[in-house]
Amino acid sequence: MKKSIALVFAVSLLSLFGGKAMAQEKYFTASTPAPMSLDNEGFIRRWTVLEPISKPNHSNTPFVDSYLHEVFAKEYFKGQMTCLPKDGDKVKAIAEIVEMPADFRRMQDPSQIKRTFKNETLKWHKIDSKTYNLKLMRFGEYQTKRLYGVIYWVVTVINCDQDMENVRLSVGSNSASKWWINGNETLILSGDRRMVADDCMSERINLKKGENIIRGAIINGPGMTDFCVRFADENGKAITSGINIK
């Protein structure tokens, strides 16, 4: 009898963790050391992603430009705008925790919401997406079980074969996001939005020959979270060659 119970328990654990790994590999895998090309449509599929930072928002409607500028200007972890993280690197990040009263649906005074802040150790993961859009909600589900009310920070380094002038950064995200190239603010997507390829394009910018750093922050309250990024030429046509991802 004891052996039967032990066997059932072992099978259950194998199913749980094996199923988790198989499900994870459906959406992304760990990056390889070799450079990665753009996909056939020009999308960047390799990113280094920080485990989600808790930033509770019970709706996506507050994500106007002013709110996003304020939220993304805060320093959640050291080197937020300068680090080039490696897979497995860890940071101490400031997480916001909200305690809602039991009758919060009838609550009229926002001061009743108790907000606290604490340091959490979060890890960077370098991954290759199996789809053109990186499904952050699936990533969060497998890493921390934190699905909603989050901020994701993502970084990737691209190598350009030559100087590329008058290109445009093209992004879709769910929900709002902000993007920087080589430290310069390049594009912001505000509001409660679904992820749509080429939802917003930046003004014309220049990429230099060699390494260029793309950094993004994606915020979401309830619902799915994902994003996609590629470059377009000055006429809006997707760039599919001349760039690889480190």
Give the model confidence (pLDDT) of 24-79 as tens digits.
678 999 999 999 999 999 999 999 999 999 999 888 889 999 999 999 999 999 99
Q: 211 vs 144, which has greater pLDDT? A: 211
Distance between CA atoms of 19 and 13, rounded to whole angstroms? 10
Residue 118 has a pLDDT of 92
Instruction: Using the structure block, give the residue that is written with the tokens 């603010």.
Output: 185
pTM of the model: 0.85
Distance between CA atoms of 145 and 135, rounded to whole angstroms? 14
Q: What is the per-residue pLDDT across 189-227, written as a single tens digit (0 to 9) for each?
A: 999 999 999 999 999 999 999 999 999 999 999 888 999
In this structure, what token pair is assigned to residue 13? 């654990």
Distance between CA atoms of 7 and 9, rounded to whole angstroms? 5
Q: Which residues contact 198 (CB under 8 A, 6 or more apart)?
A: 170, 172, 230, 232
Answer whether residue 11 shows pLDDT above 70: no
